[in-house]
A and B are shown apart, each in its own frame.
Chain A
């Protein structure tokens, strides 16, 4: 689905990683490990096409639906939580706002302004994208930060569901994570 060929990335002469080669096949979970500043987010951004690598290239096979969910939260504070939900997912969602709120324990009234939501509640709204749309590859940067234990379990279940359906998943996490099929350790520069 997606291949990395000799990927290298430098920021201000500081090489974050170099010579990364791997292939992500259907249903693979890639877990990216590394200390702060080791280049986990940069690698995800390169793979998702947001940033260009300093050297090397990323090849996508065919037309692939992909999604990057990073540290930033694209929730508009001046809209209500329901408006943000439909802004993110479009009108034709698999789950309507109430059904999603029930599923993920998001106890937020429809009319509540998103400015009043907590970080975790905003994160839950963003993660609605993986429940409502099908993607071939997901790039999840610290997806469990700010979420309660119950929600973490629900998200993990959904990620595994997507893996079963053949989606490739790249994720970084400092917390307890899913068991990856492939580990990329950026500190050691190893792929196992």
Chain B
């Protein structure tokens, strides 16, 4: 895990790029619209969801390519190492260096745009959990299309992300309407853990198939 974090940290473009793009979208959104702030609030949720979806795709694009192409995975298998663990650690590293900062930035921009007025910790966790779900799904897409280009993978896994987006939309609605959102947060948290584990396993199986 520490090794994967270190490797990802050294590839500045891979983790800073998605954060900067997310920040740019969040800044550009209110600047690009000549509407009243009330309208900004109502449409901010959609922009946040689409941004998270896009950033998840960008940050997972080619997440396994390097280790697949340079033979690291082959060496790991030959030494009896676990591909599942390797995938798990890679995703964990991306959650720490990409998903969490994006969740934090998402929360700050939500506050700045007036979409969230309270329950900040719940909102932060909710954005982080949906990031985990989307990243896990798109990592699976990236694994599927290891030698075919990322777009094919995205198209094939996009339907999996729809329930998460719907759930997250409900969560944001409840947060902005000051309705208790603990149940939805728990649902998001549980779903993120299950999705993360299942898709990590699926990714490891797909990578093994590619290697064979």
Query: A residues bordering B, Cβ < 8 Å?
Result: 45, 48-52, 65-76, 78-79, 83, 87, 139
How many residues from B make CB contacts under 8 Å with A?
A: 18
Complex: A65 Cα to B77 Cα, angstroms: 11
CB contact between B72 and one of A48, A52, A74, A139 (< 8 Å): that residue:
A74
How close is B16's CB to chain A, nearest CB, in angstroms?
Answer: 13
How close is B107's CB to chain A, nearest CB, in angstroms?
Answer: 31
Contact yes or no, A51 B70, CB < 8 A: no
Besides the known contacts A68-B74, A72-B70, A76-B7, 12 further A-B residue pairs in the complex with CB atoms under 8 A apart: A50-B77, A50-B78, A52-B212, A65-B79, A65-B80, A68-B75, A73-B70, A76-B10, A76-B66, A79-B7, A79-B10, A83-B10
Complex: A24 Cα to B99 Cα, angstroms: 48
**Which residues of chain A are near B50, meaning CB under 8 Å?**
none
**Which residues of chain B are near A65, meaning CB under 8 Å?**
79-80
The verdict on A68 contacting B11 (CB below 8 Å), with A50-B211, A52-B212, A73-B70 known, is no
The verdict on A139 contacting B10 (CB below 8 Å), with A72-B69, A72-B71, A74-B70 known, is no
Complex: A50 Cα to B208 Cα, angstroms: 8
Contact yes or no, A49 B72, CB < 8 A: no
**How many A-B contacts are there with CB distance less than 8 Å?**
55
**Which residues of chain B are near A87, meaning CB under 8 Å?**
3, 7
Interface of A, helix, strand, loop or mixed by DSSP: loop
Complex: A71 Cα to B140 Cα, angstroms: 27
Give the residue name and chain of the A residue nearest to B70 (CB).
A74
The verdict on A51 contacting B71 (CB below 8 Å), with A65-B79, A78-B10 known, is no
**Which residues of chain A are near B10, meaning CB under 8 Å?**
76, 78-79, 83
Contact yes or no, A66 B70, CB < 8 A: no
Give the residue name and chain of the B residue nearest to A78 (CB).
B10
